[in-house]
Amino acid sequence: MKKLFCLIFILQFTTLTFAEKNEKPVKSEITDVTVYLSGATVSRTGSTQIGAGLTYLVFEDLAPGINPSTIQCKAIGNFTIMSVNFRTNYLSGEKIPKEVKILRDSIELLSNRIIAENDNIQVLRAEEDMIISNKKIGGNDNGVSIEALMKNADFFRTRLADIRKKVAEGNFKLKKLAESLDRINDQINQIQSKQKQNSGEIVIGVSAPAATTAKVTVSFLAYNAGWYPNYDIRAIDVKSDVELVFKAKVYQSTCNEWNNVNLKLSTCNPQQSGSKPIMNPWFLYLYENTPYRAKSKGYVNTRSESAKEAKMEEMDASTGGAAYDEVPATTIADYTVVNEGQTSMEYEISIPYSIYSDNKPYDVEIQKNKLPATYTYFAIPKLDPDAFLLARISGWDKFNLMSGEANIFFEGTYVGKSYIDVATADDTLDISLGRDKNIIVKRTKLTDYTSKKIIGSNRKITYGFEYEVRNKKKADIDIIIEDQSPITTSKEIEIEKDEISGAEFDESTGKLSWKLTIKPGETKKFVYKYSIKYPKDKFINL
């Protein structure tokens, strides 16, 4: 009784406190979202009638983890904004979502069906027991005619078979009902696991000289959101330009759905420090270089350790003659405006967009461009016997791309993934379009040339390889074949390239490149020979 009195007192006190503050909930909607590489600025707008004097407008059901220092407020109306505060509502988690209520109704219906099916099975089992327990025919003194015996036998056999069939059907129904029940319970658990246990609220104190309409917009930084770049690279054939689609993978789990919002994507990262670095003095110290002392297991140092719209004519050419009255569907990229700031890029999507709060990535097309490309084949038979088609794209650096994963499509077929690294790419961006089995590349060791000899105090090893490239396609191809020569790290190791068949050689990397043009059905051969000489009493890593 004492606990009940205390609870009633607390609820009355809380109600009086809220009433004294004159709080008024404001129904608001998310209107604008700017998504950063990490985080998002969310803007909500709501309007309500307020009376004269001080009123506290409450924006409810917000993400609980809002940083109060990022909250901004704008308003329209004849009133004065007195204060803006953030608080957590720990009672909001008690609300049951609409989806859960619907699913619980389904559970009740399934449970009733399970009870009814179990009752039906019990009735059938009781009938079976009754028939079996009353299978005796006739009395102790009277016999039974053959005809009566056959009729009874037919009854027992038919009825028992029917009962057992219906029991089996009932058990099967129970199994399916139980599976459905488990799936619904799993769905409820999934929804409730994502349901916020509490919510955030922004409380805005406003003072009005008279009753008026207040339209208020609040914005704040939400942390559980972001985007990352992704690309689709499409080529129709080796004579066409490459279509490069720059997309954003946008995700969020802010506990609020973004339904038909004005969406912007920014390359900023507000969670990264904007302070310039400070370089402190660099002091050098003398110390004694204590040698390592050997132990039975390894060595121990005795010194301590320290420190990212096509025209109809273009469409007709690229699709093989599509009719001019067939207008292609537009994409989000056709509605994107690119704004270049002093330190970042901003992509504004000019049609409403929806991103759900499930932390799944949603594709938003930012740009779609056709870029000139040259095509060549490439092979390193030492590492892989197949030839790869390479698209060398120029002019890519004008579109403010970012490093990210790319999906590659060639001749209408998905061929795999690649990665665009804008930090290391040159003026030409090389994209692999996959393997071509119609080009045969072989690298065979020349056994007659390969040998190991001792000449005086040195050991000399010679190697020779023959390359064979065959074009089984119906058109000329350009192909680059690469191999490598070892690079010496000691004056005692001498390397001689005895024959390189006109290859381009890079002294710094040891790379050899043969650039060939091969006609349809043609086979070209060339060789590469080299030798290594080093002291016979030493070893090298071959």
Distance in angstroms (rounded) separating the CA atoms of residues 488 and 532: 9
Q: What is the mean pLDDT of residues 220-247?
A: 90
- Burial track 121-130 (b if 16+ CB lie within 10 A, e otherwise): beebeeeeee
pLDDT at 72: 93
Rounded to whole angstroms, the Cα distance separating 153 from 279 reads 103
Alpha carbon of 419 to those of 229, 330, 402, 411: distances in Å? 11, 26, 11, 20
pLDDT of residue 194: 56
* 355 pLDDT tier (thresholds 50, 70, 90): very high
Task: Report pLDDT digits (tens) over 306-343.
Answer: 333 444 444 444 444 444 345 555 555 555 555 555 44
pLDDT digits (tens, 9 = 90+) for 356-396: 988 899 999 888 889 899 999 999 999 998 999 998 888 88
Q: Is 241 helix (H, G, I), strand (E, B) or coil?
A: coil
Residue with tokens 């590492």: 383
Helix (H, G, I), strand (E, B) or coil at 286: coil
- Provide CB contacts within 8 A for 135, sequence distance 6+: 156
Mean of per-residue pLDDT scores for the chain: 80
pLDDT band of 136, cuts 50, 70, 90 = low
Q: How confident is the model at residue 344 (pLDDT cuts 50, 70, 90)?
A: low
Chain segment 468-508, per-residue pLDDT in tens? 999 999 889 999 999 999 988 888 888 899 899 999 999 88
Burial of residue 355, with CB atoms counted within 10 A of its CB: 0-12 exposed, 13-18 middle, 19 or more buried: buried
Could you tell me the sign of the dihedral formed by the alpha carbons of 512, 516, 522, 526, in that order? Answer: negative
Under CATH, which number does the domain 439-535 receive? 2.60.40
Identify the pLDDT of residue 99. Answer: 79
- Average pLDDT over every residue of 421-446: 86
Ordered by start, the domain boundaries in the chain are 23-96+196-222, 98-137+146-194, 225-271+309-436, 439-535
What Cα–Cα distance (Å) separates residue 94 from each residue in 208, 286, 365?
34, 66, 39
Rounded CA separation 302/293 (Å)? 7
pLDDT > 70? residue 193? no
Q: 37-52, pLDDT tens digit by residue?
A: 999 999 999 999 999 9
C-alpha span between 261 and 353 (Å, rounded): 5
Average pLDDT over every residue of 412-434: 83
pLDDT confidence of 184, banded at 50, 70, 90?
Answer: confident
The average pLDDT across 289-317 equals 44
Are the C-beta atoms of residues 469 and 381 closer than 8 Å to each other? no
Phi, psi of 385 (to 5 degrees): -75, -10
State the pLDDT at residue 412.
86
Percentage with pLDDT > 70 across the chain: 78
In the block, residue with structure tokens 């091969």:
518
CA distance 355 to 303: 57
For residue 50, the SS3 value is: strand
pLDDT of residue 488: 86
Residue 213: what pLDDT? 92
DSSP letters along 161-217, please? HHHHHHHHHHHHHHHHHHHHHHHHHHHHHHHHHHS-SSEEEEEEEEEESS-EEEEEE
Specify the pTM: 0.61
Task: Give the Cβ contact number of residue 366 at 10 Å.
Answer: 24
Please count the CA atoms within 13 angstroms of the CA of 370 that sit on its side-chain side: 10
250 vs 14, higher pLDDT: 250
For the segment 497-529, what is each residue's pLDDT rounded down to a tens digit?
A: 989 999 999 988 899 999 999 999 999 999 999
Within 10 A of 2 (CB to CB), how many other CB atoms are there?
Answer: 6
Rounded Cα gap, residues 538 and 480, in angstroms: 37
Question: Whose structure tokens read 């607390």?
Answer: 10
For β-strands 477-484 and 494-499, DSSP reports them as unpaired
pLDDT score for 291: 52
Helix (H) or strand (E) holding 373: strand 373-379
- Distance between first and last Cα of the chain: 89
pLDDT value, residue 319: 44
Q: What is the pLDDT of residues 239-262, one digit of tens each?
A: 889 999 999 999 998 888 999 999
Flag whether pLDDT at 295 surpasses 60.
Answer: no
- From the number of C-beta atoms within 10 Å of its C-beta (0-12, 13-18, 19+), residue 269 rates as middle
Over residues 88-126, the pLDDT tens digits come to 877 655 556 677 778 888 888 888 888 988 888 888 888
